A and B are shown apart, each in its own frame.
Chain A
Amino acid sequence: MSEIERTEIEIPEISRVEGHSAVTVDVENGKVVDVKLEVFEGTRFFERIVLGHKYDEMPHITSRICAICSTGHVLAAIKAVENIFQFSPSETEKLFRELMHLGMIIESHATHICALALPDFVGAADLSDLAGKHENEFAIWTRLRDLGASIQTVVGGRPFHPVNLHAGGLSRYPSRKELRPLLVKLERGTEDAAHLITLLKSFNLPTETELAPCFLALIPEGDSYGYFGKTIKASDGWQAPVEEYTTYLSESSVEYSHSKRSLLGTKPFMVGSMARLFFFSEKLGKTAKDIFDKSPLAQKNKRVSSLWNNFAQAIEIVEAIERATVIIEILLTSTIAGSENTDFKNKLKAGRGVGAVECPRGTLYHSYTLDESGNITAADMITPSAQNSAHIELDIRKAAELELKKAPDHLRSTLETLVRAYDPCNTCATHMVSVRQLK
């Protein structure tokens, strides 16, 4: 019997915002036999550590799950708590929350595209290299990042782990004087985002892949493209209220990873910018819609590689800048009014509440159960990265099968770029892939 020729393609560490991860691809006789996305970040047991805490502590504690998406965690936690008390925020609060969320989208997407993905596409080793060789692009990143951080600081009190957002409303309403300078930054941001789009367009991204992703995203509540909603939608037309997520997402632990993974029934699926644009491009503002319509993302029958996620995020930056400008203009001309009866202490009751928001990387769920004193008795959080992980493995497998015959260097960089495209929370990666012959 001839000896089996085995190769293991390994990416020993891809640093991620939520910790550390590695990728291995096992190849036997020229066929991919196994793919593993291994997340070996230190576990923090958030679902357990919040137990016994009071409902009003949830935003602050769960915000610490992730710095880049902390605003998303805070908002999901707030929504879950407010759902238990059947509280509806005032219009002003809704606008401020949306503005805050857009600040996170701009900051996170810009950091992902510029600091993480761009070096791959322009042939720079990393961010410092980019800073030296591509000053203009580096400056775009610093300005867009600063724009997102400024919005979150004005509304939330600091660039991440916000202190001003609570279940029941904001502690303090930003003044017109604080809001106005953001308009100037947003205007500059419009130019920067346009430059980013042109740049990304000039890269030769593959438009054909054999994968037809199953997409999942929240249906936006309002008329505009948005990140908040109560119903989830899948690409086969199926819909469900987010409260029922345990019936449609099957979550499980895998031995080799600290990250749980979710399947939709038995299927891996994809959440994030591409999913949102796939469903709701009709709701985009004019500028973003034009860009979308002229891109391969608009041709729904034609399959687009996950690498297009970078471009999809850039479109969302354009949209977020346009929408944030509209929101600030509304706030500047309206009476700012908070909600009444925001104190839940006198109407405590036992119950379960689910809150979901679209984070930069996809849908995030928080679910809490309270006893009648307002203590958490059960909690569950499902992050976008856990949802995407099975799909990333599927994508790696496909890409590795297609490219197996190519030179190891080429394969290595294809896989790295692919994983990174999914990883908007990751401001950079240790670009180390080793291809080892096992025997």
Chain B
Amino acid sequence: MSNNPAKPIPKVAVESLTGCAGELLVILDNLEKLVPFIRIMSFPFAQSKNEDGPLDIAFVEGSVSQPHDLEKLKRIRAKTRWLVAIGNCAVWGCVQAGSCSRCHADDMMHSVYGDTCKFEVMQAKPLEEFVKVDVRLSGCPINATQFLSVTASLLKDHLPFITHKPVCLECKLRETACVLIEKNLPCLGPVTAAGCGALCPRVGAACYGCWGPCQEPQMEAMATILQEKGYELDDVLSRLQTFGAPKELFTRMASEKN
């Protein structure tokens, strides 16, 4: 780090696959805080001279949704020490993986671009399906404070601790009234990873799961509660899957449906 002349300055890259650039924007907005401690080798979204070469940390946003993404991801993996999947797209596949789990990529392509279209597409998947990921930092978009503390850990050579407790915990800590119990809203807080500070319940809205599943999410229990509150199982399932919660979490529910 810069205050230790003996140690080389860590080399960092910020790259994106298929996503909405949300994380890039969060990092851009916090760049001033990082610049004294790192050397940014590549950040095509924010700088013009981007270098190749070995990296200490690669932050990668977006899901793998086309062959081009996969090649890029493999190139990045090969040259970095830590690979950090940032954002729900990179960690869970986000909306493109969640909603797409119900249909095939080719069908989607033809229904959007027409029958004659020949793009190469893939079923959208998170990074971990293809390469080793060292740190999974979820959020849609990631939370700036969480991002900075993760980066600080990595710069000190520690793997960071990231909580995967449910959003409910943050509601309790903030003493926010439970919107599931008190307002009967279809809140996914009990099965969604904390990190946002319970943004939605805080304004009286239902969590829609944008941080991805929490640790050991009790999907069945969640579905049961929502069914008891009058929500159809189909709708509950589609809501639970929207932000990329993997199919395996729903096996029993799916078989119950059939």
Residues of A at under 8 Å CB distance from B? 13, 15, 17-19, 40-50, 52-54, 57, 60-61, 64-68, 70, 115, 119, 125-128, 131, 142, 145, 149, 157-161, 163-164, 166, 170-172, 253, 255, 258, 260, 427-432
**Min CB–CB distance B90 → chain A (angstroms):** 12
- Complex Cα spacing A70 to B69, Å: 23
Q: Which of B20, B63, B107 lies in contact with A66, CB distance below 8 A? A: B20
Interface centre among A160, A163, A253 (most CB of B within 10 A): A163
Question: Which residues of the partner chain B approach A157 to less than 8 Å between Cβ atoms?
Answer: 199-200, 202-203
Within 8 A of A (CB), among B185-212: 196, 199-200, 202-205, 208, 210
Q: B138 contacts the other chain (Cβ, under 8 Å)?
A: no
Residues 25-54 of chain B, each 1 if its beta carbon lies under 8 Å from chain A, else 0: 100110110010000100011111110000
Question: Which residues of the partner chain A approach B80 to less than 8 Å between Cβ atoms?
Answer: none
Question: Which residues of the partner chain A approach B100 to less than 8 Å between Cβ atoms?
Answer: 45, 48-49
Chain A contact residues, majority secondary structure: loop
Task: Take A68-B25, A253-B117 as given contacts and tell me if A161 and B204 are in contact as well, using a CB distance cutoff of 8 Å.
Answer: no
Chain A residue at smallest Cβ distance from B234: A52
Task: Contact check, B44 vs A67: say whether CB atoms are below 8 A apart.
Answer: no
Apart from A49-B95, A61-B99, A126-B49, 6 more pairs, CB < 8 Å? A47-B111, A48-B107, A67-B25, A127-B47, A171-B204, A429-B48
Task: Contact check, B65 vs A44: say whether CB atoms are below 8 A apart.
Answer: yes
**Min CB–CB distance B205 → chain A (angstroms):** 4
Residues of B at under 8 Å CB distance from A? 17-18, 20-22, 24-25, 28-29, 31-32, 35, 40, 44-50, 62-63, 65-66, 68-69, 94-96, 99-100, 102-103, 107-109, 111-114, 116-119, 121, 124, 140-141, 196, 199-200, 202-205, 208, 210, 235, 238-239, 242
- Complex Cα spacing A126 to B45, Å: 10
- Complex Cα spacing A149 to B28, Å: 13
The 3 closest A-B pairs by CB, nearest first: A42-B18, A49-B99, A431-B48
- Complex Cα spacing A253 to B115, Å: 11
Question: Which residues of the partner chain A approach B239 to less than 8 Å between Cβ atoms?
Answer: 54, 57
Question: Which residues of the partner chain A approach B29 to less than 8 Å between Cβ atoms?
Answer: 145, 149, 159
Task: Contact check, A67 vs B21: say whether CB atoms are below 8 A apart.
Answer: yes
Task: Contact check, B203 vs A43: say whether CB atoms are below 8 A apart.
Answer: no
- Complex Cα spacing A17 to B239, Å: 27
Task: Contact check, A15 vs B96: say whether CB atoms are below 8 A apart.
Answer: no
